[in-house]
Amino acid sequence: MNISGRINGVLRNAALWAGLGVIIVAVVLAAIGFLITGLYMWLLHRLPPELAAAALGGGLLVGALLLAWIGGTVIRKSRRKYPSLLSEFGGTIGLAGRLVGMLVRRDPKKALIISIVAGALAEYITSERKK
């Protein structure tokens, strides 16, 4: 598995969680609004319609919790299973070893030149540049 595939999966997962979070926040805010309105109306008039508004607010909160639970479960189950990074690194090192072996068997002079250039390039990349 390549790194870009992993990054793509992580970004997709983050976007799904962010979208789910926005929906849950909206539903919770609506529920709190209904609860406050219901409590206000119940205290003001003490009539059954106000209790209905409070029950609706409670129902919206329960719905938000249910939505969070179901959405989280769906997102977790949709995640792909990736092989460990150590096994991918081992596979990459094995492939590089086979390629180097093949190159040395075919033309040892070119392998020596390539190793010198690769060493110089590695030194250039990893060295600290003085200003």
Verify that 65 and 11 share a domain, yes or no. Answer: yes
pLDDT in tens, 56-80: 678 778 989 999 999 999 988 887 7
In a domain, 70, yes or no: yes
Domain count of the chain? 2
- Write out the residue range of the structural domain in which residue 106 sits: 85-126
In a domain, 131, yes or no: no
The C-alpha angle 120, 125, 126, rounded to 5 degrees, equals 100
Verify that 22 and 66 share a domain, yes or no. Answer: yes
0.75 cut: is pTM over it? Answer: no
- Separation CA 19–CA 89 (nearest Å): 34
pLDDT in tens, 6-52: 888 888 889 999 999 999 999 999 998 888 888 777 767 766 777 77
